[in-house]
Structure 1
Amino acid sequence: MTTFEITGASAADMELIRCWADEEGWNPGGSDRFAFAVADPEGFLVGRLGGEPVACISAVRYGAGFGFIGFYIARPSFRGQGYGIRLWDAAMRRLDGRLVGLDGVVAQQDNYRKSGFRHAWNNIRYEGVPRGEGGDGGRVEVVDAASLPFARLAAYDRRFFPEPRDAFLSAWTALPGRTALAAVRDGRIEGLGVIRPGSAAHRIGPLYAADTEVAAALLRGLSRSAPGAAVTVDVPDANPDAAPLFESLGLAPAFETARMYTGPAPELPLAELFGVTSLELG
């Protein structure tokens, strides 16, 4: 009988997981795995059948009380044989005792509900080439995020996430090939955005902004780093101003996921959340 075992992911496995996600049509960022690895080096699991990788999942721990599930993939020829659920159970055991979040594809949402997850909001992926130059955000100044003290960026990001994630954020904003911009007004950070290359389009996330004017200024600034390229943003419908903004800029909905939690949703400033950081790690 061929043995099924669950192991931690190696560096080679992390690239394999990225390729599997690409095949699923998720358009992962090309260098995302390097930031993922520092978020929680032991948080990525691979199911192997006779030594061959056949399934994967991430179960990343943040701080003392939060966790996030992502990258839940079984290879098509191995689905329906119980390998995926064994990996799922191992991931959930790793996050036992924590509030757990995930962004679930439509086909899996009923299964997540059976595991105790509750719907919080939908993320709609908007995609396209942003049009028009428009305004500059009024009195807001858009600057290279690296020009600001990192402690200020981390404190700002902390408003939008249940636990600190400084190591992840440091890598996420500074990896080669990506651009991170901050919006500053009267000495305050009022927005933050990151763009990075993906397989099919440039990914933007996070996109935090005090209002739609700031969000538009950041989006245009980020897009200038990839002129003429299509971009994608995963937009929470819990922010009613977000979708109309992206539609006015020429982006169109492509698909959706649901943000779900095992308990009450964290209290976040959703009116300022225009794009989630990552569907895989929150």
Structure 2
Amino acid sequence: MTAPLCRTARGNEIALMLDWAAAEGWNPGLEDAAAFVAADPEGFFVAEVAGEVVAAISVVHHGTDHAFLGLYLCRPDHRGRGIGYALWQHALDHAGDRSVGLDGVAAQQANYARSGFIRTGATTRYEGRLTGTPSDLVRPMIAADAAAVAELDRQANGYARPAFLTAWTAPQPTRRSWVLEETALHGVVTARRCRDGVKIGPVIAPDADAALVLIRAALAQMPEEPVIIDLPEASHDLADALTALGFEATFATARMWRGPAPQAGPTLQAIATMELG
């Protein structure tokens, strides 16, 4: 077999990667592509065979010390030929000395471990229906909130990701962010419409009750069904609360890191995406 050409993705190829992700049932947001590109324009890669794109992956820089791997996909008719692994190795070179995180499905975790990734936790997807409820404590995020939101995000995730966060929280027709503010700003939520329903994330809040206030307030402005929320393993109280509201766990991954793993804080109630962390 001719060796695949592994290269940085061009133009609309990131949108193609998200179309493939949708076909696999990953249900990306309607406006994810532009935010993903803004996070790290050089962090998306494809493999070509005979001039045709057949595999894809992302390794997105979130700063000088951390990167996140996602969108690892290979067309079914080209699997089992080593193309995906060649692209994997090529893309990981982009990370340099950074620690690299990923959310890995069960079938691939042993393969990831062979590349030096160690399980540090888990991410579980919850799906259900929830009526939105406005709150006097929740308002739309504005530009003046950016520094405070960035610090909340850094404390919650254990590392800064300024380019991604700026793009993710910028208002779009199908993606909006809100903040929780009492005497000070101490919570944030983003909701985005997807090809099916609405995904809520990140949710950063001091506890599960505050997280639900944020989630319900977001849904009051962006009602949709089903509601999809991806929770880190430590978010037990919010998982219990959602289960009591009729949500079901529908999908789970292992959170894995190659290199020193960041220490997430207790305020991380839900992650932003399984593709970029």
TM-score band, normalised by shorter chain = over 0.9
What pairs up with 1:28-43 in 2 under 5 angstroms? 28-43=28-43
Query: 240, 249, 254: which one pairs with 1:253?
Result: 249
Q: Deviations over 1:229-270 (max 9, x none)?
A: 21101111222212102112322111111111113421221x
1:278 is the counterpart of 2:276: no
> 2: distance between equivalents of 1:24 and 1:108?
15
> 1: distance between equivalents of 2:70 and 2:224?
30
Query: 224, 238, 243: which one pairs with 2:234?
Result: 238
Question: Contact 1:173–1:179 (CA<8 Å) still a contact in 2?
Answer: yes
State the TM-score, normalized to the length of structure 1: 0.92
* Residue type of the alignment partner of 2:70: G
> 2: distance between equivalents of 1:239 and 1:163?
18
Aligned to 1:22: 22
> 2: distance between equivalents of 1:89 and 1:235?
29
* Residue type of the alignment partner of 1:180: S
Question: Contact 1:127–1:254 (CA<8 Å) still a contact in 2?
Answer: yes
What pairs up with 1:201-212 in 2 under 5 angstroms? 201-212=197-208
Q: Deviations over 1:198-244 (max 9, x none)?
A: 11121111011101111110110111123252110111122221210
Unaligned runs of 5+ in 2: none
Aligned to 2:147: 151
> 2: distance between equivalents of 1:46 and 1:28?
18
1:241 is paired with a residue of what secondary structure? helix
Aligned-residue offset at 1:40: 0.7
Question: Contact 2:9–2:45 (CA<8 Å) still a contact in 1?
Answer: yes
* Residue type of the alignment partner of 2:196: A
Aligned to 2:177: 180
Question: Contact 2:157–2:263 (CA<8 Å) still a contact in 1?
Answer: no
Question: Contact 1:195–1:205 (CA<8 Å) still a contact in 2?
Answer: yes
Question: Contact 1:99–1:263 (CA<8 Å) still a contact in 2?
Answer: yes
User: Percent identity between the aligned chains?
Assistant: 39
Distance change >3 Å, CA 165–CA 181, structure 1 → 2: same
State the TM-score, normalized to the length of structure 2: 0.94
* Residue type of the alignment partner of 1:183: L
Question: Contact 1:45–1:56 (CA<8 Å) still a contact in 2?
Answer: yes
Aligned to 1:268: 264
* Residue type of the alignment partner of 2:4: F
Aligned-residue offset at 1:151: 1.6
What pairs up with 1:25-174 in 2 under 5 angstroms? 25-131=25-131, 133=133, 136=135, 141-146=137-142, 148-174=144-170
Aligned pair count?
A: 276
Unaligned runs of 5+ in 1: none
Distance change >3 Å, CA 221–CA 148, structure 1 → 2: farther
Question: Contact 1:8–1:46 (CA<8 Å) still a contact in 2?
Answer: yes
> 2: distance between equivalents of 1:66 and 1:205?
20
Aligned to 2:211: 215
Distance change >3 Å, CA 130–CA 52, structure 1 → 2: same
* Residue type of the alignment partner of 1:179: R
Kindly report structure 1 stretches of 4+ aligned residues shifted beyond 6 Å.
Answer: none
Query: 178, 187, 192: which one pairs with 1:196?
Result: 192
> 2: distance between equivalents of 1:212 and 1:142?
15
**RMSD value over aligned CA atoms?**
1.8
Q: Deviations over 1:35-92 (max 9, x none)?
A: 1111111000000111101000001112211111100001111000000000001111
